[in-house]
Structure 1
Amino acid sequence: MNQASDDEPFFQPGRNCASVRHAARFSLLIDGADYFRVLREAITRAERTVFILGWDIDSRMKLTPEGADDGFPEALGDFLHAVANHKRRLRIYILAWDFAMLYAFEREWLPVYKMGWRTSRRIAFQMDGKHPMGGSQHQKLVVIDDRLAFVGGLDLTRSRWDTTAHAPDEPLRRDANGTRYQPFHDVHTMFDGAAAREIGLLARERWARACGKQLAIRAHRANLEHDAWPPSRRVDLEDVEIAISLTEPGYLGREPVQQIRAQYLDAIARARHSIYIENQYFTSGTIGAALAKSLGREDGPDLAIVVPRNQSGWLQEVTMGVLRARLHALLKDADTHGRYRLLCPSVPKLGDEIVNVHSKLMIVDDELLMVGSANLNNRSMVLDSECNIAIDALGDARIRRAIATMRDTLLAEHLGCDIADIDRERAAHGGMNAAIQALLRERDEHRTLVPLDPLVSRELDQLIPTEALIDPETPIAADELVDQFVPAEKTRPLIGRFALLGVLALMVVVVAGLLHWTSLGDYVNLRSLTNATRRIDALPLAPLWIVLAYVVAAVISVPITLLIAATGLVFGAAWGGLYAFLGTMAAAAVSYSLGNWLGRDVVRRVAGARVNRLSERVAKRGIVAVVVLRLLPVAPFSIVNLVAGASHIRMRDFMIGTMLGMGPGIFLTVAFAHQLVASLHRPTIGSFAVLIGIGAALIGVSLLLQRFLGGAQPDAHEGAPGDADKPRASEEAKRASELHESGAMPRDPAARNARPDEVNS
Structure 2
Amino acid sequence: MQTHDEETRRFFKNSSVQVLLCPRVAGKRHSWVKQREVEVIYTHHQKTVIVDADAGNNRRKIIAFLGGLDMCDGRYDSPRHSLFATLQTFHSDDYHNPTYTGNVTGCPREPWHDLHCKIDGPAAYDVLTNFEERWLKAAKPHGIKKLKISYDDALLRIERMPEILGMADAPCVRDDDPEGWHVQVFRSIDSNSVKGFPKYPRDATKRNLVCGKNVLIDMSIHTAYVKAIRAAQHFIYIENQYFIGSSYNWNQYRDVGANNLIPIEIALKIAEKIRAHQRFAAYIVIPMWPEGNPTGAPTQRILFWQHKTMQMMYELIYKALVEVGLEDAYSPQDYLNFYCLGNREAPDASAPSENQAAANTPQGLSRKNRRFMIYVHSKGMIVDDEYVIIGSANINQRSMEGTRDTEIAMGAYQPHHTWARKLSGPQGQIYGYRMSLWAEHLFFTRPESLECARRVRSLGEANWEQFASNEVTEMRGHLLKYPVEVDRKGKVKPLPGYETFPDVGGNIIGSFLAIQENLTI
TM-score range relative to shorter protein: 0.5 to 0.7
Q: CA 1:395 to 1:185, structure 2 compared with 1: closer, same or farther past 3 Å?
A: same
**What secondary structure sits across from 1:166 in the alignment?**
coil
Which of 345, 351, 374 is equivalent to 1:355?
374
Give the Cα–Cα distance (whole angstroms) in 2 for the partners of residues 242 and 431 of structure 1: 33
Residue 402 to residue 268, structure 1, CA distance change in 2 (3 Å): same
1:436 and 2:456 correspond: yes
**Partners in 1 of 2:310 and 2:91 — Cα distance?**
33
- Residues 250 and 256 of structure 1 are in contact (CA less than 8 Å); yes or no, is this contact kept in structure 2? yes
For normalisation by structure 1, the TM-score amounts to: 0.42
In structure 2, what is the equivalent of residue 401 of structure 1?
428
| Residue number among 186, 189, 194 corresponding to 1:248 in the alignment | 189
Match of 1:461 among 511, 514, 521: 511
Which amino acid is the alignment partner of residue 321 of structure 1? L
**1:142 aligned partner, one-letter code:** V
- Select which of 216, 222, 236 maps to 1:275: 236
Match of 1:367 in 2: 386
Mapping for residues 660-671 of structure 1, pairs under 5 Å: none
Post-superposition offset of 1:394: 4.5
Contact 1:159/1:173, CA 8 A, preserved across alignment:
no
Q: 1:411 aligns with which of 438, 456, 465?
A: 438
- Structure 1 letter corresponding to 2:244: T
Query: Which residue number in structure 2 is paired with residue 142 of structure 1?
Result: 49
Structure 1 residues 280, 158: closer, same or farther in 2, change over 3 A? same
SS at structure 1 position matched to 2:64: strand
Contact 1:274 1:365 in 2 (8 A): yes
Instruction: Decide whether aligned partners of structure 1 residues 220 and 189 sit closer, same or farther in structure 2, where only a CA change above 3 A counts.
Output: farther
Residue of structure 1 aligned with 2:25, choices 122, 127, 131: 131
Which of the two has greater helix per residue? 1
Look up the match of 1:452. 482
> What is residue 284 of structure 2 aligned with on the other side?
305
Deviation by residue 1:733-754 (Cα, 9 ceiling, x = unmatched)? xxxxxxxxxxxxxxxxxxxxxx
Per-residue CA shift, 1:161-213, capped at 9, x if unaligned?
00112123234452746666311000100121212122112111111111123
Runs of 4+ in 1 over 6 A off after TM superposition: none
Residue number in structure 2 paired with 1:174: 91
- Paired residues, what number? 349
Q: Deviations over 1:337-395 (max 9, x none)?
A: 43010001232327341100100010011121000000001100012111000113446
In the aligned structure 2, how far is the partner of 1:323 from the partner of 1:173? 36
Q: Structure 2 CA distance, aligned partners of 1:459 and 1:361?
A: 24
1:117 matched to which residue of 2? Answer: 12
Alignment partners' CA distance in 1, 2:95 and 2:479: 30
Say which of 267, 284, 289 aligns to 1:292.
267
CA–CA distance in structure 1, aligned partners of residues 430 and 135 of structure 2: 33
Q: How does 1:322-721 map to 2 (within 5 A)?
A: 322-336=304-318, 337=332, 338-349=334-345, 351-382=370-401, 383-394=404-415, 396-397=417-418, 400-413=427-440, 415=441, 417=442, 421-423=443-445, 432-434=452-454, 436-437=456-457, 440=460, 441-443=462-464, 444=466, 445-454=475-484, 455=494, 461-464=511-514, 468-471=517-520
CA contact (8 A) 1:208 1:214 kept: no
Distance 1:204 1:356 in 2: 32
Supply the distance in 2 between the matched residues of 1:317 and 1:281 (Cα, whole angstroms).
11
Q: Percent identity?
A: 22
Deviation for aligned residue 1:128: 0.9
Cα distance, 1:239–1:401 mapped onto 2, change above 3 Å:
closer
- SS of the aligned residue for 2:344 comes to coil
| Structure 1 spans left out of the alignment, 5+ residues | 1-102, 226-236, 473-761
Deviations 1:690-741 (A, max 9, x none): xxxxxxxxxxxxxxxxxxxxxxxxxxxxxxxxxxxxxxxxxxxxxxxxxxxx
- Quick check: which has more Rg, 1 or 2? 1
Shift of 1:326: 1.8
TM-score (structure 2 length as normaliser)? 0.60
Question: Which is further off, 292-301 or 167-176?
Answer: 167-176
Q: What CA RMSD, in Å, does the superposition of the two structures yield over aligned residues? A: 3.3
| Residue 258 of structure 1, aligned match among 206, 219, 238 | 219
CA distance in 2, matches of 1:238, 1:220: 33
> 1:150 touches 1:189 (CA, 8 Å); kept in 2?
yes
Partner SS state of residue 353, structure 1: strand
Q: Partner of 1:198 in structure 2?
A: 126
Code of the aligned partner of 2:222: R
Cα distance in 1 between the residues matched to 2:154 and 2:480 = 50
Q: Is the 8 A contact 1:426 1:434 kept in 2?
A: no
Alignment of 1:59-74 (within 5 A): none
- Taking the aligned partners of 1:457 and 1:438, their CA distance within structure 2 comes to 24
Which amino acid letter does the alignment assign opposite residue 273 of structure 1? Answer: H
Flag the structure with more relative contact order, 1 or 2, with Cα contacts below 8 A and sequence separation at least 6: 2
Deviation at 1:402, TM superposition (A): 1.4
Q: Give the Cα–Cα distance (whole angstroms) in 1 for the partners of residues 390 and 225 of structure 2.
A: 11
Distance 1:292 1:448 in 2: 26
SS of the aligned residue for 1:327 comes to: helix
**Alpha carbons 2:301, 2:511 under 8 Å: kept:** no
| 1:244 alignment partner AA | V
Q: Shift of residue 438 of structure 1? A: 6.2
Task: Give the Cα–Cα distance (whole angstroms) in 2 for the partners of residues 278 and 458 of structure 1.
Answer: 19
Q: Is the CA contact (8 Å cut-off) linking 2:5 and 2:21 kept in structure 1?
A: no
- Would the alpha carbon gap of residues 458 and 142 (structure 1) be closer, same or farther in structure 2, given more than 3 Å must change? closer
Shift of 1:221: 4.8
Residue segments in structure 2 that go unaligned for 5+ positions in a row: 27-37, 53-60, 97-107, 141-152, 166-177, 194-213, 247-259, 319-331, 346-368, 467-474, 485-493, 495-505
- Cα contact 1:204–1:214 (8 A) shared by 2: no
